Structure formats: structure tokens, C-alpha cells
Amino acid sequence: MALPTRQHSHARTNSRRSHWKARRLSLGTCPQCEATTQSHNACPKCGYYRGVKVDHTIKEKSEK
């Protein structure tokens, strides 16, 4: 197994890793229920995405 003949400096290692950043989530509001949601995902509160109900685990309130 090949090994490097010399050790890289800390500055060289850190400059290579300078792009390993955690990015902030892009958040928006749901047009149906006004809850804060992650962009391009169904709303966790009401289950709608772009005006269509896609989350089938949430039961709709039945009117009696």
C-alpha cells in the first residue's frame, strides 16, 4: 500500500478542507397553513406540496 513520503503541513491540510462547510437550510412558509417548512419538501404540519396533498400519513379532519 502506497504511503506519502513526507507529511503535509497543517496549513496545506486545512486549506484543502476549507470548503467542507455546513450550509444553512433554506426555509420558507407553507401557503396552506403558514408553517415554516424546508424548501422543496412537503409541509410536515399539513402535508401539502405546491398545493397538492402528498403526505398520506396525516388524516384529514372529518366533518360531522
For residue 55, CA distances in Å to 10, 15, 48, 62 come to 48, 43, 7, 17
The pTM for the full model equals 0.53
Q: What is the pLDDT of residue 63?
A: 62
pLDDT digits (tens, 9 = 90+) for 44-56: 888 899 889 986 6
Q: What is the pLDDT of residue 4?
A: 83
Cβ pair 46, 30 in contact under 8 A: yes
pLDDT digits (tens, 9 = 90+) for 9-43: 999 999 999 999 898 989 999 998 999 999 999 99
Three-state SS sequence of the chain: CCCCCCCCCHHHHHHHHHHCCCCCCCEEECCCCCCEEECCCCCCCCCEECCEECCCCCCCCCCC
